[in-house]
Structure 1
Amino acid sequence: MVAHRGASHELAEHTLGAYLEALDAGADGLECDVRLTADGHLVCVHDRDLRRTASTKGLVSTMDLAELSELDFAAWKNPWAELDDEAPDEDEALRGVLTLRKLLETVADYDRRVEVAIETKHPTRYGGLVEKRLVDMLRDFGWDRAGAPVRVMSFSFTALQRVERLAPEVRLVQLLDKPNYWPMLKRVVGRDWVIGPGIKMIRDHPRVADSIGRSGRDIHVWTVNKEKDLQRCLDLGVKAVISDRPRLMLDLLDDRFGGNQ
């Protein structure tokens, strides 16, 4: 069970607090999106601009890490929290912008193996520099080799090719949200690449889902938050489920199989 942007149903996505909550829930893996700041830092942010998650019009790519560090990335999730006199004080470090390095350090120091699924966002003004910086960071951790607890995901086939050239042993996931892309992609993606379809595509296009299932490739599905959709994934033989609600999904799996899956 992979936590989508952390335990993002309960806590603000991509914050350290959301990821710690997911780990406490027993998530086997963590998923994050990464973007490059103006001064070259990889940060865990989904949108190109900050209006939704930090209440500002700024763009991630035009701001320095120091500027981003001044913003609150959690207030949007519970805008009335400041009116609750009984709410406990929260560590500001759990609410601010999260660098990829900090997330990987957290995983490396954890008391069990935790997988990290890192999605590079495209298009971006920095192009292939995102993948280069990402691979450099994976090398810092010794995670650019086979067996490392990381995989790189993208909707961009070109981006994944870059990672393959820079670090051939890193596992890759070709994300997919349009069923008409599959006939072409299945001919060109690497033999060992994972396929990552969205649950909406699995739900709405069962023929395509069956074709992906017959391809012999590992399948990782996003974003699965309902019991019926979890069952669809189990029926398809999915290897990893990515969810905003890791605790709920793990409880459902525990009810079925008597242990975390």
Structure 2
Amino acid sequence: MHTTYARPGGTPSHGRRGSHLPLWKRWTPSLAGLLVLISLLALAPIVLLMVRLGGPGSNPRTVSLTTCQKILSPPLVCAHGGDTSAAPPNTHAAYMLALEAKVDCMEIDASRTADGMLVAIHDRDLQLITGRKYVTTGDLTLEEIRQLDAGARHPRSFHGEKVLLLEDALRLVSKHLVQIVVDVKIGPPRGEEGLAQDVVDVMNRAGCTNCLVWAKYDTLPLAVQALEPLRKVGYILNNETHPNRREESFVRHAGMQVVGAHWAVVDETLVKLAQRHSKEIYTWTVNEGGIMRNLLDIGVAAIVTNHPRKLKGEIHAARNACKEAGYVV
């Protein structure tokens, strides 16, 4: 049944009760919906950034201007003995995989044999290769080391990989990198006797002008610096928790340019301390994505990792997120 009703003081109106509401009242619901839509669109980039930067198993995070400024000059991606995510450490295969990944830097171990030759190996890896728990590089001659199969405990494709002379390793990679960290291992039978000179001689023969030297004990890099004052050297930060002792440990050598620190002791306070004393922080050994992202936010100079491709992926993702947030990187 079609009804009519009269407006106060006048003509009947048919059916549509809201048709004569004022125009602004009829538009109010539409305006509210439009405002909600605009708000959702404004939030979408933030949600997208949180998803992109969160990654599997990690807490979502947003990017800040500070983070994006640091990504303009990201840390060196420093492959730990090459790309050792698959290949045996400090082997030709590991070095080539790292170069294929276009890393900026490699850390190469340097140990001295019983007959005084420097080879690219860590005692820990030597023990795995030989199956001898307490063997050290200094227990074996170069010829004995050369007989070893460095890839024996890895997939078949790496069988037959050999331990390289340090000089050969440096020649192979130095021209393709910004930085090489020569991590000198001090051990029997000669300890530090003549070791600094041996390291300097090898670096010079290999033409490794971009070689940085550090060691567990400060005396070795100091000896290298005495022989070559222009050589970049570093020292290892002690695991100090007391603020005063931590600062004393950090600044104990004014003439050294680099401080090596385990990732667990690196924070923003330490980075600011480094900046005040004109030093760079190189941190190791970082293999987890969440830790990589945290160090990118903090702004260290170099990150040593067994997974260089993964670290490069994190840097790439952070750059993309910064672009999407409107920051120029």
Fold shared, TM-score > 0.5 on shorter chain: yes
Residue of structure 2 in register with 1:132 after alignment:
197
- Taking the aligned partners of 1:177 and 1:24, their CA distance within structure 2 comes to 34
The aligned runs of 1:1-261 (5 Å cut-off) are 1-47=77-123, 50-56=126-132, 58-78=135-155, 81=156, 92=160, 95-108=161-174, 112-128=176-192, 129-143=194-208, 148-179=209-240, 182-202=246-266, 211-212=273-274, 214-257=276-319
**What secondary structure sits across from 1:75 in the alignment?**
coil
Name the CA distance, whole Å, in 2 between partners of 1:2 and 1:27. Answer: 7
Would you say the 8 A contact 2:286–2:306 is kept in 1?
yes
Q: Distance in 1 between matches of 2:210 and 2:309?
A: 21
TM-score (norm. length: structure 2): 0.66
Give the root-mean-square deviation of aligned CA atoms. 2.5
Structure 2 unaligned residues grouped into runs of 5+: 1-76, 321-329
How far has the Cα of 1:71 moved from its partner?
Answer: 0.9
Shift of 1:123: 4.6
- Contact kept in structure 2, 1:177 and 1:201, CA below 8 Å: no
**What's the CA shift string for 1:26-58, capped at 9, x where partnerless?**
111111111101122111111268322332454
Change (3 A) 1:187 1:28: closer
Aligned residues of 1:218 and 1:238 also touching (Cα < 8 A): yes
Residue equivalent to 2:11: none
- Kindly provide the amino acid, as one letter, of the partner of residue 155 in structure 1: K
Write the letter of the residue equivalent to 1:131.
A
8 Å CA contact retained: 1:30, 1:114: no
1:212 CA drift (Å): 4.5
Separation (CA, whole Å) in 2 of partners of 1:37 and 1:29: 25
| Contact 2:235/2:256, CA 8 A, preserved across alignment | no
Provide structure 1 residue ranges, at least 5 long, that are not aligned to the other structure. Answer: 82-88
Identity %, equivalent residues: 26
Q: In structure 1, what is the Cα distance between the partners aligned to 2:210 and 2:104? A: 10
SS of alignment partner, residue 233 of structure 2: strand
Give the drift of 1:196: 1.1
Using structure 1 for the length normalisation, give the TM-score: 0.82
* Aligned residue pair count: 240
Q: Is the 8 A contact 2:274 2:280 kept in 1?
A: no
Against the structure 1 CA distance between its residues 207 and 29, is the aligned structure 2 distance closer, same or farther, given a 3 Å change threshold? closer
* Counterpart-to-counterpart distance in 1, 2:188 and 2:139: 11
